[in-house]
Structure 1
Amino acid sequence: MRLTLVLAPYDSGHHHAGMGLGPEAILAGGLVEALTLNGHDVAVEDIGEVGDAQGREITTGFAVCRAVAEKVRESIAAGRFPVVLAGNCLTAAGAVAGEGADAIVWADQHGDINTPETSTWGYLDGMALATVLGLCWRPLTASIPGFHTIDPARCLLVDARDLDPDEKRLLESLPILRAPCGDAVAQVEKLKAAGATKAHLHLDLDVHDPALLQANRYATPGGPSPEELRRMACGVARSIPVAGVTISAYDPAYDPKAEVPPLVGELLNELLAALERI
């Protein structure tokens, strides 16, 4: 398969810091080589430095989304499948805009469904899925070329074991589908029944059980194994057209044995194989 790895190396407005070091660490761990050995034609595109010199989280976060949307759109126009390696989950809004996806499968230990009105931390990335679903930051998402909100009825939230009280209340009021990793693929037919035709697959690496694989400092007990996440991703790919993928939230400082990069390579190779069989 011809694909483009789009690098968005930012964490909370900071370039090449924290989880913003993750995309290049994954590359340094042999991702391009692993994909190439499996016959894939791989291009790498870095969005470069965007935002403002002060590294303001909101300004830079949405500048990253705009840059990613453009890179993803260019990739698709060139006949290449887009895979975004991101520090922050908000970056998925840019990927969705570039792809024109009308559904989303969001695998994450967090709900990322807070809004500025519900967030007690003020953490922009904790509002990432809410942003994609049009629950907040509408003036800023309007600045992302091609962005359209995704109907909550066409959203599948996978795992999400660590939720704030307000997130739990909001999820009870919305038609978002929820499932543990092992049951997620069975829910895809409900996305299609709600009108989904092509989905974006978002994989926050802290969805993993940290006893088996720790991706960052936010990890809490529970969650799938790397093998279970791969099975889920491949099952989704066999069940609905996948427009593109984001892989986010890897902080190499919390992975002293560098276990995450080769597992990302395995995940993507299995996922691409599933897509090619369709």
Structure 2
Amino acid sequence: MKLSLVLAPYDSGHYQSGFGQGPDALVTGGLVEALTLAGHDVDVEDIGKVGGDQPREIATGFAVCRAVAGRVDAALEDGRFPVVLAGNCLTTVGAVAGEQADSIIWFDQHGDINTPETSVHGFLDGMALAIALGLCWKPIAHTVPGFKAIDPARCLLVDARDLDDDERKLLDALPVLRSTCTSAVEQAGKLNAAGAVRTHLHIDLDVLDPDMLQVNRYTTPGGPDPNELGKIVCGIGRSMPISGVTLSAYDPAFDPQGDVPPVAGHLLVDLLAALERI
């Protein structure tokens, strides 16, 4: 398969800091070699510095989304399958826009579905899925080329085990599908029934059990081990029209032995093999 790895090395507007070091660490940790050995033609593109000299969480975050949307769109025009390596989950808004995705599967230990009205901490990344679903930050989201909010009925949120009270209330009021990891493949089939044609697969790596693999400072107990996650993601890949993938939220400062990059490589290799079987 022809692939485009789009690197968006930002964390809350800061370039190559914190989570923003994750994309480069995945690449230097052997991701490209793993994909190449599996027979894929891999093109790597870093979006570089965007948004001006002064890092600003909101303005720079959406500038990253605009840059990613352009790179993803260009990759698809070149016949390449887009894989975005992101620091922040917000970056998925750019991937969704570039793919013109009409549905989304969101693996994350967090809901990322706060809005400015519900967020206690004002953390923009905690609103990432809400933005993708058109629930907040609407004017600036529509500055991202190709962005169209995804119908909440075409969203599957998987293993969100760390939710704020207001996120729970909002999810109870929305038609968002929710599942544990074990029921994710079955629930994903409901997106097909809802008419999904281009589904973006978002994988926040902190969905993994931190007792098995520590990916950042925000992890909470529970979640699948890497093998379990791989089987679930491959099951979805064999049953859904996946238009692109985002891997996010890896902070190498919390992975001193470099355990995460090989796991991410194995996950992507297996997922792409599943997609090729369709």
Normalised-by-shorter TM-score class: over 0.9
Aligned position for 1:210: 210
Kindly provide the amino acid, as one letter, of the partner of residue 89 in structure 2.
C
Q: Distance in 2 between matches of 1:208 and 1:217?
A: 13
Q: Structure 1: how far apart are the matches of 2:185 and 2:198?
A: 15
Q: CA deviation at 1:198?
A: 1.7
- The residue number in structure 2 matching 1:151 is 151
CA distance in 1, matches of 2:101, 2:45: 21
Give RMSD over aligned pairs. Answer: 0.6
Task: Measure the CA separation in 2 of the matches of 1:101 and 1:138.
Answer: 17
Residue pair 1:108, 1:206 contacting (<8 A) in 2 also: yes
Please report the TM-score for the alignment, with normalisation by the length of structure 2. 0.99
State yes or no: 1:104 paired with 2:104. yes
User: Could you say which residue in structure 1 is the equivalent of 2:79?
Assistant: 79
Cα separation, 2, equivalents of 1:138 and 1:114: 14
Aligned partners of 2:190 and 2:35: how far apart in 1?
A: 32
What's 1:235 paired with? Answer: 235
- Helix, strand or coil for the counterpart of 1:267? helix
Q: Deviations over 1:3-41 (max 9, x none)?
A: 000000000000000000000000010111111111100
TM-superposed CA distance for 1:229, in Å, is 1.0
**Cα pair 1:83 1:245 within 8 Å, conserved:** yes
Give a deviation string over 1:202-260, Cα, whole Å, max 9, x none: 00000001000110000000001111111111111111110000000000000111100
Contact kept, 8 Å, 1:216 with 1:252, in 2: the verdict is yes
Q: Does structure 2 retain, via aligned residues, the 8 Å contact 1:52–1:59?
A: no
Give 1:8-19 correspondences, 5 Å limit. 8-19=8-19
Looking at structure 2, the residues matched to 109 and 64 of structure 1 have their Cα atoms a distance apart, in angstroms, of 23
Query: 2:117 — aligned with what?
Result: 117
- Which structure 1 residue ranges, 4+ long, deviate > 4 Å from structure 2? none
> What is the deviation of 1:52?
2.5
Q: List gaps (5 residues or longer) in structure 2.
A: none
Letter in 1 for 2:30: G
Distance 1:159 1:254 in 2: 22
Map 1:163-242 to 2 at 5 A. Answer: 163-242=163-242
Q: Which residue number corresponds to residue 61 of structure 2?
A: 61
How many Å separate the matches in 1 of 2:197 and 2:35? 27
Q: d(CA) in 1 for partners of 2:191 and 2:39?
A: 32
Rounded to whole Å, the distance in 1 between the matches of 2:232 and 2:200 is 14
Cα displacement string for residues 120-172 of structure 1 (whole angstroms, at most 9, x for unaligned residues): 00000000000000000100111000000000000000000000000000000
1:3·1:83 contact (CA, 8 Å) conserved in 2? Answer: yes
Pair 1:21-2:21 in alignment = yes
Separation (CA, whole Å) in 1 of partners of 2:174 and 2:53: 38
Residues in 1 aligned to 2:55 and 2:134: alpha-carbon distance in whole angstroms: 24
Segments of 5+ residues of structure 1 without an aligned counterpart are: none
Aligned-pair distance for 1:101?
A: 0.8
Once the two structures are superposed, the pairs formed by residues 257-276 of structure 1 within 5 Å of their partners are: 257-276=257-276
Q: Does 1:247 align with 2:244?
A: no
Q: Secondary structure at the match of 2:109?
A: strand
Who is 1:39 aligned against?
39
In the aligned structure 2, how far is the partner of 1:155 from the partner of 1:82? 20
Provide Cα deviations, 1:75-120, integer angstroms capped at 9, x if missing partner.
0000000000000000000000000110000000000000000000
3-state SS of paired residue (1:162): coil
Distance 1:94 1:254 in 2: 26
CA–CA distance in 2 between the matches of 1:16 and 1:189? 37
SS at match of 2:159: strand
Deviations 1:181-216 (A, max 9, x none): 111000122112222112000000000010001100
Please say if residues 81 and 244 of structure 1, whose CA atoms lie closer than 8 Å, have aligned partners that are also in contact. Answer: yes
Paired AA for residue 214 in structure 2: Q
CA distance in 1 between counterparts of 2:209 and 2:127 reads 22
SS for the counterpart of 1:167 is helix
State the number of aligned residues. Answer: 278
Partners of 1:231 and 1:51 in 2: CA distance: 38
